[in-house]
Chain A
Amino acid sequence: MLAALADVRIVMQNLFRLGSTLARSAVAVKPTLMTSRVTQFRPFSQGTFVFEIESSDDFNEKVIQSPVPVIVDFHADWCGPCQALGPRLEEKVNGQSGSVLLAKINVDYAGELAMDYGISAVPTVFAFKNGEKVSGFQGVLDDEQLDEFIENILAD
């Protein structure tokens, strides 16, 4: 479905790299008639600690090479539980003032990446520290469990 959007998406990715999540709503153009849905982005909660990843290169740069731990959220627009988990996860990460970051990966736009990491269900969340996967979970956690998950990442 993304064929016609490839160019636009590259432009958008570059915009995302600027770090402004506000840029997303600004570039919600509709390049072709039939693919309008693809561009309907749900703006993430504000803050620069949450960013989107769409390619392996991007992943390598922003997750593997990251000096601080990164939580990776593999999610999809069509997945109800993802909508239940995502915003809470974003809020909690933003509450950590940068000691941990959150990478959002939409499996429909980054299928290869999802396949590489063996994602068979969404949401799947991994924590990366010094380029290595240290923990993770599938499905929805409640607030307490999420706090514990983040605490454990920051603990050692």
Chain B
Amino acid sequence: MFATSSWDSDLYGMKSLTDLFGCFKRNPRRGDEPASANQSTSDSPPMGAVASGMPPPKRRAPTETKTPPGERNVDDTGVPLKEALKQANDAKIAVFCSGNDEEEEKQISEIEAILKTLKDPPETEKPLEIPEVQRIQVNSSSKKAIQYLTLHDSWPLIYIKGNAVGGLKELKALKQDYLKEWLRDHTYDLIVIGGGSGGLAAAREAARLGKKVACLDFVKPSPQGTTWGLGGTCVNVGCIPKKLMHQASLLGHSIHDAKKFGWKLPEGKIEHQWGHMRDSIQDHIASLNWGYRVQLREKTVTYINSYGEFTGPFEISATNKKKKVEKLTADRFLIATGLRPKYPDYPGVKEYTITSDDLFQLPYSPGKTLCVGASYVSLECAGFLHGLGFDVTVMVRSILLRGFDQDMAERIRKHMIAYGLKFESGVPTRIEQIEEKTDEKAGRYRVFWPKKNEETGEETEVSEEYNTILYAIGREAVTDDVGLDSIGVERAKSKKVIGRREQSTTIPWVYAIGDVLEGTPELTPVAIQAGRVLMRRIFEGANELTEYEQIPTTVFTPLEYGCCGLAEEDAIKKYGKENIIIYHNVFNPLEYTIPERMDKDHCYLKLICLRNEEEKVVGFHILTPNAGEVTQGFGIALKLAAKKADFDRLIGIHPTVAESFTTLTLEKKDGDEELQASGC
């Protein structure tokens, strides 16, 4: 998870405070306030305010009265939706029903019969209390809403301890002893496994809602021995150090630009000190680790620095660094263990290479570096390392930035080459150590790979020497040691948890969020949002879903790439080429003109619109300095279903790069020549 964290803003706020006084706790965040703006109110429309995939909520016009009296009574029986969800949430066992069906009645009787079989024999010392099934009768629109919210088609729909279980079929699929154990009391309301962006946000939100929560976090060392503190990938080995090193790299260029703007700089070579930057960044990270710890304590979340593993359907064994094991039980579990870098499988690779887990704490200056992989992690690391003055090569097997807009990916490649980075096509097959690394000095390694002769097609082994080899070929869920299989939590091939929304498809009291949930974007703010929204849903019965579409994001390559919505190829696939119209342009940031930066020829933007839907914008792409800042703001336009005409009627801010979106007229067509930025 390498996205820019939404934590940044308040942390910078803290920094200014520290200058004056001390390193104090941070300002309260949005989600920490007692009442959440996201919660649906009693007069909100039936499907809640932020349903995924639903049309954006339409605000009721002030003159409009409530539902006309004639229509109001149609299907107006049963408990109102909000109240119904609340009841299901509070009941030990509840069944949503329509209340007018014989078949339904038959099924409820069968549910009750199944529960009766859980009764302990009369001689049992502490017999399990079997609660009455609470019937919650709802109307057909509420039924639809509940089925949409839970993604369960089954009806009547069973809830146990606030968790949607499904219908009779799903209830029968659960093991009897699991069901029995479920109805017993447990120590915690929720145990969160993983103290990263998502896990921490969820733990704090659940605690805010008055729940008893434990959060387990334990970082297994990387093969190189690197570990870190509380906060997960983003804070320790992802977005935060990445963006700071990107900034260090950009500053190097600013020094160069400064001369052209009239700054007289001292003679001689201006050098970057790796160790100094690393220490400053690591100090900042340590302050964040501490901040998270304090936040957990303030929210009365029990923090346990141990590795959690399921040893029963409702039991976690938590092993600390001294190998001491503690057993904990809870009613619900949240898997938020995230991802770790993947390694290829050939001898020496784990000894001689590093990953992004290690780079930001690297004791020595990396020197001549090979970045293997075409992921954004690889490109970002290659970009800032080159900017810091290192000789960097990126080795890729095929395309760059799979899953991203390929037109933009190609532009990034062109820019990076012009910027001085080298690209090699291939896959390393072996590495030889020439000189071992020490704490002070990078090692020397020879990397071998087969290279294809373009003309003859013949493959010959070639090699090159590097000081540092960084593998960034992807990240994988490390869920093998969490005991998920032992209790029956279904996992995908990727080892991620398969979810019905964020709920395990097989074990209804287990949930997953963030990078470890199959099929959702691997981004910090997504995990945070999913964690908070899920907690409000399962602990408050909130009618609220995380929206996994139109997520703005930015790749922090030397020239940043921001996007929101669909890639060009995805838009074509989804809507058909003839239904897509693309507006695009090149532009020259004013700040780049005087220093004559090479980057100026690479800035580019495009809007992908639907021809037949009033040119509704479905894709937003920009290659520019500060793309992150630009994209975040425009993201709201896509959320609100903005059309090209809306961009046109927006007045630009002059002189900025973002204003280019307000003056787009050029249509992108196949076979067009490459656009050239004009002068003034």
A interface residue numbers (CB < 8 A to B): 1, 3-4, 6, 30, 32-37, 76-82, 107-108, 111, 115, 118-123, 138-140
Contacts and interface: CB of A to CB of B under 8 A. Distances in A.
A78 B363 contact: no
Interface stretch (B284-292, B499-507, B588-596): B284-292
B363 A33 contact: yes
B293 A80 contact: no
B225 A108 contact: no
Given A108-B289, A111-B293, A34 B24 contact: no
Contact of B439 (A33, A77, A107, A120): A33
Given A6-B321, A76-B286, A78-B287, A36 B23 contact: no
Contacts of B293: 111, 115
Interface stretch (B28-36, B65-73, B226-234, B613-621): B226-234
A3 B221 contact: yes
Contact of B25 (A32, A82, A121): A121
B127 interface: no
B578 to A, nearest CB: 55
Contacts of A139: 21-22, 24
B279 A37 contact: yes
B614 to A, nearest CB: 52
23 contacts: A1-B228, A1-B229, A33-B363, A33-B437, A34-B222, A34-B225, A34-B361, A36-B363, A37-B279, A37-B282, A37-B361, A76-B23, A78-B23, A78-B284, A78-B286, A79-B23, A79-B287, A80-B18, A81-B18, A119-B294, A120-B294, A121-B25, A123-B23
B277 to A, nearest CB: 13
B283 interface: yes
Contacts of A33: 224-225, 363, 437, 439
Given A33-B439, A80-B19, A120 B284 contact: no
Contacts of A138: 22, 24
Interface in B267-300: 279, 282-284, 286-287, 289-290, 293-294, 297-298
Which of A34, A108, A111, A120 counts the most B-chain CB atoms under 10 A from its CB? A34
Contact of B221 (A4, A36, A122, A140): A4
A33 B221 CA distance: 12
Please give me the 5 A-B residue pairs with the lowest Cβ-Cβ distance, nearest first. Answer: A78-B283, A139-B22, A121-B24, A34-B226, A79-B23
A123 B22 contact: yes
B309 interface: no
A87 B287 CA distance: 20
Q: How large is the interface on B (under 10, 10 to 19, 20 to 34, 35 or more residues)?
A: 35 or more
Nearest to A84: B22
Nearest to A30: B439
Contacts of A3: 221, 227, 321
Which of A37, A115, A121 counts the most B-chain CB atoms under 10 A from its CB? A121
Nearest to A123: B22
A120 B225 contact: no
A121 to B, nearest CB: 4
Contacts of B321: 3, 6
B358 interface: yes
A34 B289 contact: no
A74 to B, nearest CB: 10
Interface in B322-341: 322
A13 B226 CA distance: 23
Contacts of B222: 34
Given A37-B282, A120-B24, A1 B363 contact: no
Contacts of A118: 297
Interface in B6-27: 18-19, 21-25
Given A1-B229, A4-B221, A34 B358 contact: yes
Contact of A4 (B225, B287, B294, B437): B225
A111 B322 CA distance: 16
Nearest to A32: B225
A118 B227 CA distance: 26
Contacts of B287: 76, 78-79
A140 B321 CA distance: 35
Contacts of B439: 30, 33, 36
Contacts of A108: 229, 286, 289-290
Which of A111, A119, A123 counts the most B-chain CB atoms under 10 A from its CB? A111
A1 B227 contact: yes
Contacts of A122: 22-23, 290
Interface string B428-447: 00000000010100000000
A34 B224 contact: yes
A76 B18 contact: no
Given A36-B439, A76-B23, A139-B21, 4 more contacts: A33-B363, A34-B362, A37-B363, A81-B21
Interface in B103-131: none
Which of B221, B282, B290, B361 counts the most A-chain CB atoms under 10 A from its CB? B290
B290 A77 contact: no
Contacts of A115: 293, 297
A37 B278 CA distance: 10
A107 to B, nearest CB: 6
Given A3-B321, A107-B290, A115-B293, A120 B22 contact: no
A114 to B, nearest CB: 8
Nearest to B303: A115
A3 B279 CA distance: 20
B227 A4 contact: yes
Contacts of B290: 76, 78, 107-108, 111, 122
A121 B225 contact: no
Contact of B363 (A34, A123, A140): A34
A81 B228 CA distance: 24
A32 to B, nearest CB: 5
Which of A1, A4, A107, A122 counts the most B-chain CB atoms under 10 A from its CB? A1
A81 B18 CA distance: 7
A140 B226 contact: no
Nearest to B23: A79
A72 to B, nearest CB: 15
A98 to B, nearest CB: 28
Contact of B283 (A1, A4, A35, A77): A77
A140 B39 CA distance: 41
Contacts of B24: 120-121, 138-139
